[in-house]
A and B are shown apart, each in its own frame.
Chain A
Amino acid sequence: MTTSVAPTFTDATDSVAARTEMLFHEQQQSIVKHTDRIFARLMICQWIFGVGLALWISPRTWIGTQSSIHLHVWAAIFLGGIVTSAPVLMAFLQPGKVLTRHAIAVGQMLMSALLIHLTGGRIETHFHVFGSLAILAFYRDWKVLVSAATVVYVDHVVRGLFWPQSVYGVVSAPIWRSLEHAGWVIFEVTFLMISIRKSLSEMRLVAERQARLESLNEHFEQTVVERTAELTRSEAQLRQSQKMEAVGRLAGGVAHDFNNLLTVIGGYCAISLAKASGGDGFRKNFLEIQKAADRAAALTGQLLAFSRKQVLQPRVIQLNDVVRGMEKMLRRLIGEDIELSTVYVPNLGNVKADPGQLEQVIMNLCVNARDAMPRGGKLTISAANVAIDQESSFRNRTLAVGDYVMIAVSDNGMGMTEEVKSHLFEPFYTTKGVGKGTGLGLATCYGIICQSGGAIRVYSELNSGTTFKIYLPRTDAEVQTSQTEVRRLPAGKENILVVEDDPAVRQLAILILREAGYNVQESGNAFEALELIRRNPIFDLVVTDVIMPQMSGKALCDEIKAQIPETKVLLMSGYTDDALAHHGVLDEGLNFLEKPFSPSKFATKVREVLDEPADPFRAGKARGALPASFA
Chain B
Amino acid sequence: MPKFGLSSSKGDAKEAFAADLARRLLLLSDAIIARSKLPIRTLISFCWLLTVGGGFIVLLNYQESAGGTGFTPMTWPSASALRLARGQDTLIMFAHPKCPCSQASLEELNRALAKTAGKVSVRVLFFKPAQGSNDWTNTTLYRTAASISGVTALEDIDGQEAGRFGANTSGYVVLYKPSGDLLFKGGITAGRGHAGDNAGESALVALILGQDSAIRQTAVYGCSLFNKRCTTDTTTPP
Give chain A's interface residues, CB within 8 Å of chain B: 57-67, 70-72, 75, 78-79, 82-83, 86, 99, 103, 106, 110, 113-114, 117, 120-123, 159, 162-163, 165-166, 168-171
In the complex with contacts A120-B194, A168-B197, A169-B196, A63-B224 CB distance below 8 A: yes
> Which residues of B172-229 have CB atoms within 8 Å of chain A's CB atoms?
190-191, 193-199, 223-229
Q: Which residues of A contact B226 (CB under 8 A)?
A: 63-64
Find out whether the CB atom of B190 lies under 8 angstroms from the CB atom of A165.
yes
Q: Which residues of A contact B35 (CB under 8 A)?
A: none
| A63, B132: Cα distance in complex, Å | 14
Interface centre among B45, B55, B62, B132 (most CB of A within 10 A): B55
Query: From residue B17, how far is it (CB to closest CB) to chain A in Å?
Result: 34
- Whether a CB of chain A sits under 8 angstroms from the CB of B81 is no
Q: Which residues of A contact B227 (CB under 8 A)?
A: 63-66
- Whether a CB of chain A sits under 8 angstroms from the CB of B40 is no
Find out whether the CB atom of A165 lies under 8 angstroms from the CB atom of B55.
no
Find out whether the CB atom of B190 lies under 8 angstroms from the CB atom of A71.
no
Which of B63, B99, B224 is within 8 Å of A166, CB to CB?
B63
Find out whether the CB atom of B223 lies under 8 angstroms from the CB atom of A62.
yes
| A578, B45: Cα distance in complex, Å | 94
Find out whether the CB atom of A159 lies under 8 angstroms from the CB atom of B195.
no
Task: Add 8 more A-B contacts to A64-B224, A82-B48, A113-B56 (CB < 8 A).
Answer: A58-B193, A62-B170, A64-B228, A66-B227, A67-B98, A110-B56, A165-B191, A171-B199
A64 nearest CB neighbor, chain B only: B227
A59 nearest CB neighbor, chain B only: B100
Query: From residue A68, how far is it (CB to closest CB) to chain B in Å?
Result: 10
- Whether a CB of chain A sits under 8 angstroms from the CB of B31 is no
In the complex with contacts A61-B223, A75-B55, A166-B60 CB distance below 8 A: yes
Q: Which residues of A contact B44 (CB under 8 A)?
A: 86
What string of 1s and 0s marks CB contacts (under 8 Å) between B88-99 and chain A? 000000001011
Find out whether the CB atom of A169 lies under 8 angstroms from the CB atom of B129.
no
Interface of A is mostly: helix
| A79, B52: Cα distance in complex, Å | 6
| A78, B55: Cα distance in complex, Å | 9
Find out whether the CB atom of A63 lies under 8 angstroms from the CB atom of B223.
yes
Q: Which residues of B contact A99 (CB under 8 A)?
A: 41, 45
- Whether a CB of chain A sits under 8 angstroms from the CB of B151 is no
Q: Which residues of A contact B224 (CB under 8 A)?
A: 62-64
A103 nearest CB neighbor, chain B only: B45
Query: From residue A225, how far is it (CB to closest CB) to chain B in Å?
Result: 49
Which of B100, B129, B191, B196 is within 8 Å of A70, CB to CB?
B100
Chain B interface size, under 10 / 10 to 19 / 20 to 34 / 35 or more? 35 or more
Find out whether the CB atom of B52 lies under 8 angstroms from the CB atom of A71.
no
What string of 1s and 0s marks CB contacts (under 8 Å) between B49-82 and chain A? 1011001101111111000000000000000000
Find out whether the CB atom of A166 lies under 8 angstroms from the CB atom of B51.
no
B128 nearest CB neighbor, chain A only: A65
In the complex with contacts A75-B55, A110-B52, A117-B225 CB distance below 8 A: no
A54 nearest CB neighbor, chain B only: B100
In the complex with contacts A165-B190, A166-B191, A75-B64 CB distance below 8 A: no
In the complex with contacts A82-B48, A82-B52, A166-B64 CB distance below 8 A: yes
| A377, B227: Cα distance in complex, Å | 123
Find out whether the CB atom of B198 lies under 8 angstroms from the CB atom of A170.
yes
| A75, B54: Cα distance in complex, Å | 11
Q: Which residues of B contact A58 (CB under 8 A)?
A: 100-101, 193
Find out whether the CB atom of A169 lies under 8 angstroms from the CB atom of B52.
no
| A579, B193: Cα distance in complex, Å | 116
| A61, B65: Cα distance in complex, Å | 14
| A245, B198: Cα distance in complex, Å | 107
Query: From residue A586, how far is it (CB to closest CB) to chain B in Å?
Result: 92
| A to B CB contacts below 8 Å, 25 in the list | A57-B103, A60-B98, A62-B99, A62-B170, A62-B223, A63-B223, A63-B224, A63-B226, A64-B224, A64-B226, A72-B59, A72-B193, A79-B56, A82-B51, A82-B55, A86-B44, A106-B49, A120-B195, A121-B191, A121-B195, A123-B196, A165-B191, A166-B191, A169-B199, A170-B190
- Whether a CB of chain A sits under 8 angstroms from the CB of B145 is no
Query: From residue A82, how far is it (CB to closest CB) to chain B in Å?
Result: 5
| A83, B103: Cα distance in complex, Å | 27
Which of B49, B59, B190 is within 8 Å of A117, CB to CB?
B59
A116 nearest CB neighbor, chain B only: B194
List of 5 A-B pairs having minimum Cβ-Cβ separation, nearest first: A58-B100, A64-B227, A79-B55, A169-B197, A169-B198
Query: From residue B158, how far is it (CB to closest CB) to chain A in Å?
Result: 10
| A82, B47: Cα distance in complex, Å | 11
Which of B56, B96, B103, B199 is within 8 Å of A170, CB to CB?
B199
Query: From residue A337, how far is it (CB to closest CB) to chain B in Å?
Result: 81
- Whether a CB of chain A sits under 8 angstroms from the CB of B104 is yes
Q: Which residues of A contact B104 (CB under 8 A)?
A: 120-121
Query: From residue A158, how far is it (CB to closest CB) to chain B in Å?
Result: 9
In the complex with contacts A166-B60, A166-B64, A170-B198, A120-B48 CB distance below 8 A: no
Find out whether the CB atom of A65 lies under 8 angstroms from the CB atom of B132.
yes
| A159, B190: Cα distance in complex, Å | 13
Query: From residue B216, how far is it (CB to closest CB) to chain A in Å?
Result: 15
Find out whether the CB atom of B52 lies under 8 angstroms from the CB atom of A165.
no
| A122, B223: Cα distance in complex, Å | 20
Query: From residue B36, how far is it (CB to closest CB) to chain A in Å?
Result: 18
What string of 1s and 0s marks CB contacts (under 8 Å) between B154-165 and chain A? 000000000000
Find out whether the CB atom of A121 lies under 8 angstroms from the CB atom of B196.
yes
| A289, B99: Cα distance in complex, Å | 133
Find out whether the CB atom of B60 lies under 8 angstroms from the CB atom of A71.
no
Find out whether the CB atom of A79 lies under 8 angstroms from the CB atom of B59.
yes
Query: From residue B68, how far is it (CB to closest CB) to chain A in Å?
Result: 11
A61 nearest CB neighbor, chain B only: B223
In the complex with contacts A58-B193, A78-B55, A117-B63, A165-B100 CB distance below 8 A: no
Find out whether the CB atom of B56 lies under 8 angstroms from the CB atom of A166.
no
Which of A60, A110, A120 is within 8 Å of B103, CB to CB?
A120
